[in-house]
Chain A
Amino acid sequence: MLFLFLVVVVLLGTSVYTYIQDRKLQSVSLDALRMASWNLVQLGNEAGDLDLQIGLMSKGAGDPDELMLRYDILWSRYDYLLNSKESAPTRQHGDNKAQLDTLFADLKALEPAILAAVNSGLSQWDAVMRGWEPQKTQIRNLVTDNFVGDETSRLMSNVQASRNRLANLRLLTLISLMAVFVYFVLALFFVRRQSRTDPVTGLPNNNYLRTVRQVSGEKTIIICEIRQLQLVRSDFGDHGANELSSLYASKLLKELMPGDELIHISQSEFLMFLQPRAEQTLEQTASQLVEATTFDWHQPNSVLHISAVFGIDPPCQEVSGDWSTRYQQAHRALAQAHIEDQAFYINGEDLRRRIAEDAQIHAGLIKFLNREPGSLSLHLVYQPIVSAVDQNFITGAEVLLRCRHDDLGFIPPNRVVNLCERLGLGLSLGRWLFREVARETRYIYQHLGFRGHISINLNPAMLTHKLADDVKELLIDGGIPPSTICMEITEDNAALEFGSINQLIERLKAMGITFALDDFGTGHSSLEYLRELKVDRLKIDRCFVDGIETSDDKARFLGSIIAMADQAYMKSVIEGVENQEQWLLVREMGGSLIQGYFAHKPMPMDDYTSLLLDLGTDYPRDIRLSPQRAPVD
């Protein structure tokens, strides 16, 4: 900027200087020349006139009146040249004033001789001529050689100087323009380069990424996202986040080999193009990257464990695969790593298929939940929960979701629920399930007088303050007695916040609804959940049942859990009891309710109804509504 300013100032200054000089040249020099020429030509003419008269007089042919007139005219010319304002430039030039003074004095000095000659006749004119001749010569010199020539040459040299100034100015302007042009080109180049570089790490940035058109097919594309950056930013501000970014970038840089590229996409994201590693599988490379970039970040008052998630698109067969597709695939891998909570995920055929399937399932779910015909359908099955003491006493059932797709076959319910949660369909799914349960169970509750519980898994999206309204409107008003409704929540769901979850539980409990903690012991949680959550039942996961019949340790462990539930005044529901031995063991341990293949597999509502109607089966009932069967005993 300063450079440009200086160039403009210099140019302007030079232009102004040139202009002023030329104006001076034009006005002063030309005026002076004209005036000087004019005045001195007049002087010369008038001197010539006098000279003529003196010559005539000296030959006795002159007229004294005419002589004196010419004398006076020349006299007045000197007076004019020496005294008038107009002739100032003329007399100021060189030593003109001195010369003119001398000449004027000489002329005056000549007057007595002239008068004497006029009065005394021819003999005196020699003296006049002697006095006059030098003056004549001097005047001629003054007029011709000295003054006019000098001024003309001065004008010429000034004109030449002006021409040189103009030429210099032109050259200077040209050089300045060139300099400015070069400056701009360099600035542009610099700005472009600068804009493609991250100011913090000095790595190529997102702007550079936009210029990437293709990446060699043999290179691995890796997107890496620092997990804790949001946290760092909130705790240490942008400065801290930048510091971590730089540190992280330096760790990634150490892992690079010649030919690799590292791009800093955003504060938390990096992109790498890696050359194939000799004698190393992609998994090994990824693990090495993870290991190298997992570290403890020491800050003055704390230590933060830093790690990242890597999405990897492996080398492809084509020499240069479609770059944007590969970039997207790397992003997919990153998303998948997040979903699966893995440190890295390598994009492959299964992920591609899975994503395509997810898209199909998603589309099917939307249609199904909108009650439009489609290739996907959801339905419910019921797995009876029986008394540990009496296998034929059905205390209730857990509602389980089943999903079928025309092309994909059966889809695991977890996948459906997770998809719904991820894609914002959780609430619709939950409400559909409530309505469906109420519709299907109407017969057993309204006509059979069944009063066993119905356990419903709550997906996370249902866990809001609207839950009570949904339960009231869809389940209770749908015909299910509140006291039979058992809401199952998982530790992961409840991980939100004890306070708000307990508020929800309290509200629903006031309506007579009970709660069970599902999959106990498998989540990320601790016993704290068991203590804090106000649930009535504990559903002990099948993994604690597996192998109890062969391992005393396992059996004792399960026994402890059941005992603990007992101590906390919770009923325990043991899941996954699959054989007689397990059954007997659980019963010995004091487990109250059992759910598992050994008793009953999940079944459609029709079969469940038939099971209840079976004469060998008993269940809690409302006597007024259950005329079919006389009480035993």
Chain B
Amino acid sequence: MKVLLSIVGLFLSLVSGYGFAAPKLEVTNRHETVVLEWADLEALPQTTIQTTSPYFEGSVEFSGPTLQAVIDQVGLSGESEMTLIALNDYRVSGSVNELLSLDAIVATRRNGKAMSVRQRGPFWLMLPMSDRPELDHEDYHRFMVWQLQRIKLQ
């Protein structure tokens, strides 16, 4: 029995992140909330960023829809502030204009592969720091929220 359980556990552990319900991304403006699944974001136009970052060694490729495209799913109706909230309830706020001016993407893939929660996925707000070196600064690093759960517009 124990052996069986171990085998099941091992199996489950291998598929962890898939076996259980995958986190979704909520986008909220003043009026409504849109819940986007990983596949929904995959369906949007994809942007690829090749960048270095303080979080990993060397240059890594990230892909996913632009933050703009994700916002467009709910649309702006006069909101000026955006709050990014992670699974662990880490949150960071900034002006909508500033955040949209950063050419950020909501990455869904890292080096072409979907990211598990353990890999700080499934959604990771990523900035093109290699293309725009001025973004490689603490002031912007704080916007690079991993395990992104909600985008709140106010």
Q: Which residues of A contact B (CB under 8 A)?
A: 42, 45-46, 49, 64-65, 68-69, 72-73, 75-77, 79-80, 83-86, 111-112, 115-116, 119-120
Contacts and interface: CB of A to CB of B under 8 A. Distances in A.
16 contacts: A42-B88, A49-B88, A64-B20, A68-B16, A68-B20, A72-B17, A76-B146, A79-B119, A83-B57, A85-B57, A112-B6, A112-B10, A112-B13, A116-B6, A116-B9, A119-B5
Contacts of A116: 5-6, 9
Contact of B9 (A75, A76, A115): A115
A65 B20 contact: yes
Nearest to B17: A72
Contacts of B20: 64-65, 68-69
B30 interface: no
Nearest to B116: A72
A84 B56 contact: yes
Interface string B22-63: 010000000000000000000000000000001111000000
A27 to B, nearest CB: 12
Interface string B94-134: 00000000000000000000001111100000000000000
Contacts of B8: 115, 119
Contacts of B116: 72
Contact of A73 (B10, B16, B54, B117): B117
A107 to B, nearest CB: 11
Nearest to A124: B5
A86 B129 CA distance: 15
Given A49-B88, A73-B87, A111 B117 contact: no
Nearest to A46: B88
Contact of B120 (A46, A68, A76, A85): A76
B26 to A, nearest CB: 15
A84 B12 CA distance: 27
Nearest to A49: B88
Contacts of A45: 88-89
B147 interface: yes
A340 to B, nearest CB: 99
Contacts of A115: 5, 8-9, 12-13
B55 A72 contact: no
Interface residues of B, number: 28
Residues of A contacting B: mostly: helix
A72 B120 CA distance: 9
Contacts of B13: 111-112, 115
Contacts of A120: 5
Contacts of A119: 5, 8-9, 12
Nearest to B58: A85
B90 interface: yes
Contact of B117 (A72, A84, A112): A72
Contacts of A46: 88
Given A77-B88, A79-B119, 18 more contacts: A65-B20, A69-B23, A72-B16, A72-B116, A73-B87, A73-B88, A73-B147, A76-B118, A76-B146, A84-B55, A85-B55, A85-B56, A85-B57, A86-B141, A112-B10, A115-B5, A115-B9, A115-B12
Nearest to A34: B138
A470 B24 CA distance: 134
A76 B54 contact: no
A72 B121 CA distance: 10
B55 A65 contact: no
Contacts of A112: 6, 9-10, 13
Given A84-B54, A86-B54, A111 B9 contact: yes
A120 B120 CA distance: 29
A80 B9 CA distance: 25
A86 B118 CA distance: 17
A203 B82 CA distance: 92
A180 to B, nearest CB: 45
Interface in B127-154: 141, 146-147
Contacts of B10: 112
A439 B119 CA distance: 137
A391 to B, nearest CB: 133
Nearest to A74: B88
B85 to A, nearest CB: 13
Contacts of A69: 20, 23, 87, 117
B115 to A, nearest CB: 10
A49 B146 CA distance: 17
Contact of B90 (A42, A68, A75, A79): A42
A75 B56 CA distance: 16
B55 A76 contact: no
B89 to A, nearest CB: 8
A86 B54 CA distance: 5
B118 A80 contact: no
A524 to B, nearest CB: 103
Contacts of A75: 117-118
Contacts of B54: 84-86
A80 B55 contact: yes
Interface string B69-97: 00000000000000000011110000000
Nearest to B55: A84
Contact of A76 (B21, B56, B119, B141): B119
Nearest to A43: B88
B129 to A, nearest CB: 13
Contacts of A84: 54-56
B9 A86 contact: no
A76 B147 CA distance: 10
A220 B55 CA distance: 98
A14 to B, nearest CB: 32
B118 A79 contact: yes
B90 to A, nearest CB: 7
Nearest to B23: A69
A369 to B, nearest CB: 99
Nearest to B115: A76
Nearest to A113: B9
Nearest to A68: B20
Contacts of B147: 73, 76
Contacts of B12: 115, 119
A49 B88 CA distance: 8
Contacts of B87: 69, 73
Contacts of A77: 88
A75 B88 CA distance: 12
Contacts of A42: 88, 90
Nearest to B8: A119
A582 B88 CA distance: 151
A383 to B, nearest CB: 120
A253 B121 CA distance: 104
Contacts of A80: 55, 120
